[in-house]
Amino acid sequence: MSFNLKNNKTLPFRKTHYSKRVKYIVDVIKEENPDIVGCQEMSCSLRDLLKLNLKKYKFYAVPKIMKGKADYIANTILIKKDITVLESEIYSLGKDIKCLGSKNLLALQSRSCNKLVIKINHYTISIFNVHLDCLFQNTRNFQLKKLDEILELDQSDFKIITGDFNMIMKGSLLEFVHHNHLYHMNHNIDKSFLMFKHTGAIDHILVSSLFYKGTCYCGDFSKYDVKPSDHYPIISTILFPRCKKV
């Protein structure tokens, strides 16, 4: 699952505040029961409440530096506790991928990528979770190049990338997918951000072409009194290839 939870630091409005939405966020995750959730815009307070209500998950978070305060969690990966985590790492999407908090000149704020390496059965899988800049396309292009650098450092044949890319699948994002031999799981979803009426999702799940591809769909908010977020969650099923006898 990829799920932008909506940032209350910049949007602390009455009906949209996390205190009004947390129950519904929990309901969405519990109902879908994903093994892995790549979350964006998770505040510290929201994270603490989710931890109380989603006890089967471990939380791996990236601290986001805003005005010198690690007051807010930018990206968080939730993973079920029965899954083995081999490695956890944080990269910057700024000038230096090894320097957390660095950014390029036009970026609204520093952006990060968190990475987990997990083991399921005998498969080793690298999980990446990102949130690209919302203002300028040039900045997003720059951050995609940095994500390219991060993927080049990874040795796993099986990769899953979740995130809010703030762009639909065309241009530089499509080139990124092709260059890294990825498959766009939610190619059939025409909207993921509730605020705009554009066609095309801006939240994506990308996977290595070696995976067998299952279903992919958007979460349904119609049954909730309050919308859990201003982004729909993207949910997909990914299958491992059968082992071939050597």
Q: How far apart are CA 44 and CA 75, in angstroms?
A: 11
Q: Distance of CA 150 to CAs 47, 63, 105, 130, 143, Å? A: 26, 18, 20, 11, 11
Higher-scoring residue by pLDDT: 116, 108? 116
The pLDDT tens digits of the residues spanning 39-90 come to 999 888 888 899 999 999 999 987 655 444 544 667 899 999 999 999 999 9
For the CA atoms of 17, 21, 26, 32, the dihedral, rounded to the nearest 10 degrees, stands at -120
Helix runs in the chain, H state only = 18-32, 44-53, 137-152, 171-179
Across the range 182-211, mean pLDDT stands at 89
Q: How confident is the model at residue 116 (pLDDT cuts 50, 70, 90)?
A: very high
Helix runs in 61-193, H state only = 137-152, 171-179
Supply the pTM of this predicted model.
0.91
Hey, CA dihedral for 35, 164, 209, 220, is it positive or negative? positive
Q: How far apart are CA 72 and CA 74, in angstroms?
A: 6
Q: What's the pLDDT at 233?
A: 97
Residue 168 has pLDDT above 70, yes or no: yes
Highest mean pLDDT among 163-167, 221-225, 227-231: 163-167
